[in-house]
Amino acid sequence: MSFSQLQWGVRGGRLIKQLLNGPQAVAFVPALALAAFWFGGEGLLVIVALGLPMLMFFSSPPAQTTAPISHGFLPELPIKNLEQHLEQILGDARSTGAVTACYLLHLDGPFPTAAAGEELRSAYLRNLRSCLRQSDLAGWTNGNTLVVAMAPNRRLDLDAAIQAARRFQTTLEDPVAAGGRLWHVSVCVGLAISTRLASHTDGTDMLNAAQLALQEARQNGASAIRTYSAKRHKTQQKSALPPSEAVAALENGGIRPWYQPQLCTETGRISGLEALARWSHPTRGLIAPAEFLPALQRGAALSRLGDCILYHACRDLAQWDKAGLNLPQVGVNFSEDELADPRLIERVRTTLDKFGLSPDRLRIEVTENVALSGAVSDAARSVTALSKLGCKIDLDDFGTGATALTALQNINVDRLKIDRSFVRRVDRDEAQRRLLAAILGMAERLGIETLAEGVESHGEHALVAQLGCTHVQGFGIARPMPGAQIPDWVNGQQARLAKLPRLGLVRRS
Ligand code: C2E
Ligand code: CA
Ligand code: CA
């Protein structure tokens, strides 16, 4: 039998089965009984009248004894139900020797609200479902995070689970049309697989484990995948950082600045470094500011953090000057509360003097909130005073607050640090490109310099430079690093630049 004959046979069989199972079958029974009586008499009538219902019975699919598993749920589904479901599949997996996994997929990107938002969310869920089996569960949790609870499977292991995570990620990162335009997201994945969980783990613990893995993935930038490991995450699961411990770390040198380089797009040279606070914790490892800033705030020690970072940043810059590294500037982040302290100006002046640095070597990074209450707020007054002193002012996270343009009226800004949300995938998204071009055009007309934050790919780097953005910073250039690594990085960058072909030196033969 040829392949096409086989296909026709299969299709014919399927058609007969559909005819026998659908509601139309009921209409055929009297017609067939009448035809049987007409052509074959009473004997055939009895056979058809009894045989046909029996044939329908045996060809129909088995009745479902349990309710089908809900294949996706609404955002408002209580988290308890998800935990119960995870608990059930964990139990099933353990009793059958199979493996199960829970994935949290965080979609990072601009999300529309209202109707287009719903359309987009449904489209993402549909795309995710296309990668799953009927028995797997998928749905939105709150915010921009999707969850997948994978049904127990004997063939699932860590490699297969990570491969599945990559498949989900690639599928969700495909552009999706909603509300008349295309949307792009980058997706971080946190994954908890039952083989890496303790034997007493319940549904709540499994969800927590996936959450910890997701948290770690998101700290690693766009499109990261992390798997929960009891050993690695054990320390993180402990209670929130106590303010007293954070304050003590400030005093004993546990918190220090790390530095992330910034490049000039025109020359490729280093135009500065941003000082970002890091806590080297003796048991928890390296802690990012998102985790310890709240503790310092509770301990009313934010201004001490400012002093500590300012001191070390100025000291390091002076040392790099001595070593001949030629680094133009260092940027320090100050919160609104720190800026509201009128003694800050004096502290900045004294620190600069101590290390023999002119004020224009220091960039003060402030957010739009500082200008929210107008030019006369304490914080805005400090910014004006720092600017008069000669420090450069960077407006951080530009575009994320409602006050973006008011900020430009209320404080003297030297440079806009354009938030990563306007930079992400700019090389691949036309609408994103237009928005960034508009921001850069406005800055140029106002005579303000620009820096694109969070540049992760070569494509993003090339496009922001092409659009006229004057500086770039991001993982694509370098991740934040300890001060001790800066000299090597700077020398490496100079060597990379020296290797680049120079225009004008190329001669035609
Ligand atoms: P920020 O000032 O917007 O700093 C940029 C953040 O983006 C840093 O996170 C940096 O590591 C991260 N980043 C850099 N390049 C990329 C990239 O390509 N992709 C992605 N996804 N992220 C990138 P970090 O160091 O965790 O700091 C977070 C925030 O904490 C900072 O945001 C700043 O607001 C605050 N912060 C950091 N250090 C200090 C400090 O000394 N004082 C105060 N008051 N706040 C600080
Ligand atoms: Ca900053
Ligand atoms: Ca920023």
Q: Which pair of structure tokens corresponds to residue 317?
A: 């810059």
Query: Which residue's C-alpha comes closest to atom 17 of ligand 1?
Result: 454
Candidates 71, 78, 413, 417; CA nearest to 271 is 417
Atom of ligand 1 nearest to the CA of 289: 30
User: Reduced to 3 DSSP states, what percent helix, strand and coil does the chain have, rounded to the nearest 5?
Assistant: 50, 20, 30
Atom of ligand 1 nearest to the CA of 456: 18
How far, in Å, CA of 84 to CA of 294, rounded?
32
pLDDT at 403: 57
How far, in Å, CA of 329 to CA of 272, rounded?
5
How far, in Å, CA of 301 to CA of 308, rounded?
11
Q: 242 CA distance to ligand 3 centroid (A)?
A: 26
Task: Read off the pLDDT of residues 20-49 as tens digits, 9 standing for 90 and up.
Answer: 444 444 455 555 556 666 667 666 666 656
Ligand 1 pocket test, candidate residues 215, 223, 273, 276, most atoms within 8 A of CB: 276
Q: 405 CA distance to ligand 3 centroid (A)?
A: 17
pLDDT at 54: 53
The dihedral through the CA atoms of 404, 407, 413, 417 has a sign that is negative
pLDDT at 179: 82
| pLDDT-flagged residues of the chain (< 50) | 1-26, 57-76, 238-239, 504-509
How far, in Å, CA of 223 to CA of 105, rounded?
10
Query: Which residue's C-alpha comes closest to atom 19 of ligand 1?
Result: 454
Residue 454, ligand 1, Cβ within 6 A = yes
Residues whose CB is under 5 A from ligand 2 (ion)? 333, 365, 396
Residue 396, ligand 1, Cβ within 6 A = yes
Residue 276, ligand 1, Cβ within 6 A = yes
pLDDT at 78: 61
Cα 140 vs. chain centroid, distance in angstroms?
15
CA distances from 285 to 4, 222, 234, 288, 349 (A): 63, 22, 12, 10, 34
Helix (H, G, I), strand (E, B) or coil at 508: coil
Please tell me the pTM assigned to this model.
Answer: 0.63
How far, in Å, CA of 174 to CA of 424, rounded?
14
How far, in Å, CA of 396 to CA of 419, rounded?
7
At residue 68, φ and ψ (nearest 5 deg) are: -65, 145
DSSP class of residue 506 equals: -
Query: Which residue's C-alpha comes closest to atom 21 of ligand 1?
Result: 221
Query: Which residue's C-alpha comes closest to atom 11 of ligand 1?
Result: 480
One-letter amino acid for residue 169 of the chain: Q
Q: 223 CA distance to ligand 1 centroid (A)?
A: 18
Q: What is the CA radius of gyration of the chain?
A: 31
Are 391 and 348 contacting, i.e. CB atoms less than 8 angstroms apart? yes
The DSSP code sequence of 430-493 is HHHHHHHHHHHHHHHHHT-EEEE----SHHHHHHHHHTT--EEESTTT---EEGGGHHHHHHHH
Atom of ligand 1 nearest to the CA of 476: 18
Task: Read off the pLDDT of residues 314-367 as tens digits, 9 standing for 90 and up.
Answer: 999 999 999 999 999 999 999 888 888 889 999 999 999 999 999 999 999 998
Residues whose CB is under 5 A from ligand 3 (ion)? 396-397, 453
Helix (H, G, I), strand (E, B) or coil at 90: helix
